[in-house]
Amino acid sequence: MTLAAPPQAGHGLTPFLNTLCAGSRLSLPETAQAFGLIMDGAIPNEQIAAFLTALRMQGEGRDELLGAVTALRSRMISIPNVPTGTIDVCGTGGDHYGTLNVSTATAFVLAALGVPVAKHGNRAVSSRTGASDVLGALGVPLHADPLILSEQLKTHHIAFLAAPHHHPAMRHAAPVRKALGIRTLFNLVGPLINPAQVKRQLIGVFAEAWLNDIVDVLAQLGSERVWAVCGLPVGQSQGIDEITLAGPTQVVAFEDGRKNNFTLEPEMAGLPAHPISAIVGADPAYNAQALLELLSGATGAYRDTVVFNAACALHVAGRVSLLRGAEIDPAALKESVAAVSRPLDDGSALAVLTGLRTASSDAHAPNVTG
């Protein structure tokens, strides 16, 4: 995407901060330039913190999201030879529920079914345990070499793309994000800058208000099929960045060049309701133990949540069809739930994890038992 050059930024982010403090929005080119300055290491931490906070208080918009994504994509280290139909399942974070690692577990299930998954993730910033944290506790090496990751996609149908390896420019903002400890525009940007440049994504979003903008941005950038989802736990004021069993889940879908909205309910999938408290996680060792037990066939709320997400991701990957017109077909969804449950029962999802841990000489034994 080519952007018209905005006016000269002058002294760092000061012109953009003045715009935000005056109650005005940044244009797409202005946001792209501001994030470019941050990514190029040209801005002190104090200005980065002020800028991210001012954006949050002003309320980020679609143009600002697209501008930030454009700046970061232009600086990322990409993965070559990505199989057609590769999918990412990823959440924005920022919902503060601190659940177990649902999208990471979902990735193992999909890979066991032969769906190539380029799982983009990071260490925890505004949550307890990020994807990279739990993978480290499981003994899965997080490679930086794009060629190794490309080979993993081919051999194991899965590769975990640690954000710092592919977005080195983000190191300039990482200390500020960690110090702030709040949701910033970077939470929204993360799932939209997959280094494998996937065209199919199931994205969990912390707030329903962002679903349309995220889908619109990805559609504009060339995605083929996207579901942006936000769970709405009953009795809670905050959404959750995954398909939930604690209430309805709002979905904005983009496929076949069209966008439509619908709602998912647990009963549509033939699954019981579970409160969010049933899948609350803790430190990396705790979450890794839970994930290992899940892949070994454990039942309960964690498994039910993962199969719900994986069943829908199978549609995004194009392996099943869950929509009848613009609505969910419950019978098809139940069949998909059964399909994604099999790798958890027959050991093939666990075999994917074992393959990743043993394929590299630098893999180490996890600090968990199972």
Q: Is 321 annotated as a binding residue?
A: no
Contacts of 1 (CB under 8 A, 6+ apart): 70, 221
Secondary structure (3-state) at 299:
coil
Q: Is 319 annotated as a binding residue?
A: no
Q: Is 60 annotated as a binding residue?
A: no
Q: 82: which 2 tokens? A: 């990505």
The half-sphere exposure of 250 on its side-chain side, counting CA atoms within 13 A, is 15
The half-sphere exposure of 81 on its side-chain side, counting CA atoms within 13 A, is 11
Distance, CA of 143 to CA of 254 (rounded, Å): 32
In order of 56, 196, 273, 355, the CA distances from 290 in angstroms are: 34, 28, 19, 19
Q: Is 318 annotated as a binding residue?
A: no
Q: Is 265 annotated as a binding residue?
A: no
Q: Is 95 annotated as a binding residue?
A: yes
- Identify the CA nearest to 51 among candidates 37, 66, 69, 71: 37
Q: Is 11 annotated as a binding residue?
A: no
- Identify the CA nearest to 105 among candidates 285, 361, 352, 331: 352
CB 252 within 8 A of CB 228: yes
330-346 and 301-316 helices, crossing angle to 10°:
120
Q: Is 219 annotated as a binding residue?
A: no
Q: Is 239 annotated as a binding residue?
A: no
Q: Is 121 annotated as a binding residue?
A: yes
Q: Is 94 annotated as a binding residue?
A: yes
Q: Is 89 annotated as a binding residue?
A: no
CB 107 within 8 A of CB 297: no
User: Residues 133-166, buried b or exposed e (16+ Cβ, 10 A)?
Assistant: bbbbbbbbbbbeebeebbebbeebbbbbbbbebb
Q: 61: which 2 tokens? A: 């918009």
CB 273 within 8 A of CB 241: no
Q: Which amino acid is at 46?
A: E
User: Residues 207-223, buried b or exposed e (16+ Cβ, 10 A)?
Assistant: bbebbebbbbbbbebeb
Q: Is 125 annotated as a binding residue?
A: yes
Q: Is 177 annotated as a binding residue?
A: yes
Q: Is 131 annotated as a binding residue?
A: yes
Residues forming the annotated binding site?
A: 91, 94-95, 99, 101-104, 119-127, 131, 177, 241-242
Residues forming the annotated binding site for 5-phospho-alpha-D-ribose 1-diphosphate?
A: 91, 94-95, 99, 101-104, 119-127, 131
Residues forming the annotated binding site for anthranilate?
A: 91, 122, 177
Residues forming the annotated binding site for Mg(2+)?
A: 103, 241-242
